[in-house]
Structure 1
């Protein structure tokens, strides 16, 4: 059995990791640490979130750093404030027995002057988000000339979020680095391009296969009609009374709408989206971490870098367009060897899309029936009974009140007491689910055969073109041109969210989206086309104006 000592980790780090309960290295740690300890080799590590990547690069960094030198020698760049703080927390634990080692986190949304003071006190490792680091570089508040090691953590997420130019700027400003270490859950083309341009013959290590799902995650899905999606979500939550998870939506409007509805109905829930200030975001995340909130409703962009242990469920309110996004969503659960569930709410026309994701992540997706009202009540009832039996009565002077209780209930049978307790707890559920409808969409035998074979049973996808390239068979759609593309930092899911947020439109009005490097073409319901054009055309974006118009009118 391999040990950290056998990988070459020194005694002080071994002492700290042993106290943390680290005995056997994870696969990514076992493969990465011996390579990284050389300090001179570029490295690409592909592994799912929650597989121990921080220790894989953190332990070698702490061992390579020269403690006597009080200037930045290592730089770790990651996508979000939350991940930045989590990495620092882990490094602080690893370096418990290394005197004089200092790690500083720099990120947006908080006082830059405080961070500048921390840097000036003398640090060896800087953990940073791209935007704040560039701000510090331009203010000449951080000296990266003597940086030897650069770590890009969750590189695919940073590139998906539009940080490519920032990453290239940072790499250009660390000219004397001896090695670059890139860690990523997936390997999209953007990550490959960065590795080719800025790394020299990197050692590549893959734990599992690229894009494959964590084997500890059970992938499930429910088929319902589009207008029953919210009711299905609510029923799934009620059917899992011990749930602690994240519900992913496409847009911030959906996140806010679902959160407000569930809050009004008494659920411990809040939303995480781009309109929140950093203070509001910190408050929501604090409540979620200490489990004051049972569920977090989040957009993909807002949830970047969230690292919370113990998440039991990830719920896809709608399927994402990109497999990488699904992989990142599902990777929030099933961590550290624990079992997790990633479930998706789909309508019948989306089952084919789900099958495509299933093939790429190479994990089976299990179709489940949406629970009936009686199923929900039964599950809640058993959960309550277990809580009742497990209630801790050792703390509290309950014996003092026992005579009064016995006198009060002297003429009430045990059965009646139990009924009254159940009525107090379940009256709302019983009334709500008394005549609950069946939310399942029953597939025809032909649909079932087609979906199993991967055939697209959706006539709206069948298209023909004339000699000018215009599409037929889509008479209700209008094709729009927009001067935004992948060069602007978008990928399909983030671009979809951007245009929906800008226009306040629902996804249902959209058809096919074709993205190129400089431009994109969007199919949209004719009745909504003018609203989208008015919402986007002429608006500023990264120092220039968005141009959107009817693609056919361009000749």
Structure 2
């Protein structure tokens, strides 16, 4: 068995690794460390997330660094501040026994003056995000003229995030004699361009299959309608009561919305995204690492610096736009020899996106059925029983209360006592899943009754809009008008009814306030007419005019339209609360028709 000592590292570094519990090097460490120690040749190294790349490039640099020289000798660039902080923290741990060594992390979202003061005191290694590094270079506070090593960690991700110009600027001000170490999980064209333009005859190391996922990760997917995406997520969490995982969303807003729903539903969850301050992010990550949080909802960028080895699940609430991002996400579970599960929640139209991912990871996705309420209740109930069975009783604490308790419960036999105990702990759970719908039945979202009305519309809010056919409105133009307000990238549109002078449409109820606010605050107009959108109290009883129903189209949305020119809404369909002037009142059909005509 190869040891770290066999790789040529000095005793001080070996002692630090021993203190940290490192026993043997990973494949990328075993290949990269001797290469960097023995040679000044540039290096391209490819290894998946979670394989120990930080030690692979930092340990040989620590081995060769001049501790008597207080100038910056190595600059390490990483895509996010979390990852920069993590790398700097790891280097501090590796260098515990190296006297005179200093490392500094520089990143945006934190006081630049404090970072400048640390640089002024002298550091041998700087770990930075591209933006803050360029800022410090322009201020002449970061001098890289003595740099001997330039490390590009997660180079593919930095390019995905749009840091190409910043990378070029940093590379241009470093000495030509430096050794450039490029570490990446994938090898897109832009990474190849950097290698060609800024590296001199680089050696290449591959650890594991490039672009592939961990052999310890199982890939599963669930197919549901967009409106059932969160209910499906909730059921997945409920059927896995011991879940310790990350839920990945595509946007900051979606991340916060999903986290808020989970918290409201009683889960130990929190969010991690770019709108949080550094202090807030540190608190969230600390709680998650300590397992105070069971579920973390995060964007791809925010989670880059989160180094956790024991995740049971990674859940893709929405599939990422880049296949490489899926590889990064799934690589966060199944680490350190543990088994992990990567789950994708997809709509019927998104199933085609799985095939390209399968080709990259070299594995097939397994389709799973969203668990029903009965299965979830059984799983949760048995878990509760196991917890009670395994719980250690502290006799000294409860002993004095037992006689009173036994007296109060003396009329209950064993079976009755068990039933009541389970009911106290479990009634709310049973109630929630009583008569729960089958989320695997995709036809329910399009199912209509004999009058043409959707049956499964409890997740939709119905809106009144004061424009109709006379304003040249049709379903496609209405969908376009809704899209223009940028309420949400993937908001689902339900039933649409276009009438002569006004219309109705349905949207996901989770975006009710955002929809009203968007149309009110943006001063929307259509064909020269001011647009007024209000929430209606009830849905129409039916399509009484006998008009033909039509489908409206729009990117990422679905809708249907119906009703004849003689169709009129029922009295119960009057708009309530929201209008342009801010006043709320109910109006009859006749008064509203007169007003809008």
TM-score, with structure 1 as normaliser: 0.78
1:14 and 1:165 map into 2 onto residues whose CA distance is 38
Q: Secondary structure at the match of 1:37?
A: helix
1:348 and 1:130 map into 2 onto residues whose CA distance is 39
Q: Secondary structure at the match of 2:220?
A: strand
Give how far 1:183 is off: 0.8
Q: Secondary structure at the match of 2:305?
A: coil
1:30 and 1:7 map into 2 onto residues whose CA distance is 7
Give how far 1:322 is off: 2.0
Mapped contact 2:245–2:312 kept (Cα < 8 A): yes
Mapped contact 2:226–2:492 kept (Cα < 8 A): no
Mapped contact 2:370–2:439 kept (Cα < 8 A): yes
1:107 and 1:309 map into 2 onto residues whose CA distance is 25
Mapped contact 1:88–1:105 kept (Cα < 8 A): yes
Q: How does 1:73-222 map to 2 (within 5 A)?
A: 73-222=73-222
Give how far 1:92 is off: 1.7
Q: Which residue of 2 aligns with 1:385?
A: 385
Mapped contact 1:215–1:363 kept (Cα < 8 A): no
Q: Which residue of 2 aligns with 1:224?
A: 224
1:477 and 1:94 map into 2 onto residues whose CA distance is 61
Aligned partner of 1:505 among 482, 488, 506: 488
Q: Secondary structure at the match of 1:147?
A: coil
Give how far 1:440 is off: 1.1
1:224 and 1:6 map into 2 onto residues whose CA distance is 53
Mapped contact 1:47–1:206 kept (Cα < 8 A): yes
1:258 and 1:191 map into 2 onto residues whose CA distance is 34
Indicate whether 1:307 and 2:307 are aligned.
yes
Mapped contact 1:319–1:326 kept (Cα < 8 A): yes
Q: Which residue of 2 aligns with 1:298?
A: 298
Change (3 A) 1:509 1:173: farther
How many residue pairs were aligned? 464
Q: How does 1:329-348 map to 2 (within 5 A)?
A: 329-348=329-348
Give how far 1:421 is off: 2.3
Indicate whether 1:432 and 2:415 are aligned.
no
Mapped contact 2:358–2:364 kept (Cα < 8 A): yes
Q: Which residue of 1 aligns with 2:373?
A: 373
What per-residue deviation string (whole Å, max 9, x for no partner) do you get for residues 81-127 of structure 1?
Answer: 21112112211221122211111111222222221221122211111
Q: Secondary structure at the match of 1:397?
A: helix
Change (3 A) 1:39 1:401: farther
Change (3 A) 1:411 1:300: same
Gaps of 5+ in 2: 444-474, 494-514, 523-597
Q: Which residue of 2 aligns with 1:64?
A: 64
What per-residue deviation string (whole Å, max 9, x for no partner) do you get for residues 458-483 of structure 1?
Answer: xxxxxxxxxxxxxxxxx9699x9xxx
Q: Which of the pair has more CA radius of gyration?
A: 2
RMSD over equivalenced CA pairs, Å: 2.7
2:94 and 2:395 map into 1 onto residues whose CA distance is 37
Give how far 1:330 is off: 1.0
Mapped contact 1:72–1:125 kept (Cα < 8 A): yes
1:392 and 1:86 map into 2 onto residues whose CA distance is 38
1:396 and 1:269 map into 2 onto residues whose CA distance is 34
Change (3 A) 1:501 1:345: farther
Q: Which residue of 1 aligns with 2:583?
A: none
Change (3 A) 1:370 1:104: same
Give how far 1:335 is off: 1.8
Give how far 1:509 is off: 8.0
Mapped contact 1:229–1:317 kept (Cα < 8 A): yes
Q: Which residue of 1 aligns with 2:40?
A: 40
Gaps of 5+ in 1: 444-474, 481-499, 511-527, 536-555
What per-residue deviation string (whole Å, max 9, x for no partner) do you get for residues 246-301 of structure 1?
Answer: 11122223222222222222222222333333333333333333333222222223
